[in-house]
Amino acid sequence: MFAFLHRNQVPLSSFCCLLLSLYILAAAARGQIRDEPLSAFLMWVMRPLQIASQGTANWLKGFQENYDTLAGFKSENEKLRKRIQALEIERQKLLEAAATNRQLKELLDFRGSLSGTPVIASIIANSASNWFQSCVLDKGSSDGIRKGMGVVTPLGVVGQVVSVTARTAKVLLLTDPNSGIDVLVQRTRSRGIVSGSLETGTILKYVKRSEDIQEGDRLITSGTDGVFPKGMIVGTVIKVRKQHLGLFQFVEVLPAVQSARVEEVLVVAGDSDGTKN
Give the residues lining the site for another protein (CB under 8 A): 9-11, 13-15, 17-18, 20-29, 33, 36, 38-39, 42-43, 45-46, 49-50, 53-54, 56-57, 60-61, 64, 125-132, 134, 136, 162, 170, 172, 176-178, 197-200, 205, 260
**Smallest separation (angstroms) from another protein to the CB of 87:** 24
**Smallest separation (angstroms) from another protein to the CB of 163:** 8
Question: Which of residues 33 and 155 has its CB atom nearest to another protein in the complex?
Answer: 33
CA 186/CA 231 separation, integer angstroms: 9
CA 139/CA 123 separation, integer angstroms: 9
C-alpha separations of 78 from 64, 65, 70, 85, 89 in Å: 19, 20, 12, 10, 16
What residues are paired with 134 via a beta bridge?
Answer: 172
Question: Which of residues 176 and 225 has its CB atom nearest to another protein in the complex?
Answer: 176
CA 125/CA 54 separation, integer angstroms: 6
Question: Which of residues 203 and 220 has its CB atom nearest to another protein in the complex?
Answer: 203
What residues are paired with 233 via a beta bridge?
Answer: 220
Residue whose C-alpha is closest to residue 254's, from 203, 193, 190: 203
Question: Which of residues 173 and 233 has its CB atom nearest to another protein in the complex?
Answer: 173
Residue whose C-alpha is closest to residue 219's, from 209, 97, 206: 206
**Smallest separation (angstroms) from another protein to the CB of 201:** 9
Contacts of 262 (CB under 8 A, 6+ apart): 123, 153, 158
DSSP symbol at 211 = S
Residue whose C-alpha is closest to residue 218's, from 238, 203, 243, 248: 238
**Smallest separation (angstroms) from another protein to the CB of 119:** 21
**Smallest separation (angstroms) from another protein to the CB of 109:** 29
**Smallest separation (angstroms) from another protein to the CB of 193:** 10
Question: Which of residues 73 and 131 has its CB atom nearest to another protein in the complex?
Answer: 131
Question: Which of residues 126 and 236 has its CB atom nearest to another protein in the complex?
Answer: 126
C-alpha separations of 79 from 74, 76, 84, 91 in Å: 12, 9, 9, 18
Contacts of 188 (CB under 8 A, 6+ apart): 211, 212, 213, 217
Question: Which of residues 25 and 108 has its CB atom nearest to another protein in the complex?
Answer: 25
**Smallest separation (angstroms) from another protein to the CB of 99:** 18
**Smallest separation (angstroms) from another protein to the CB of 149:** 15
Question: Which of residues 40 and 84 has its CB atom nearest to another protein in the complex?
Answer: 40
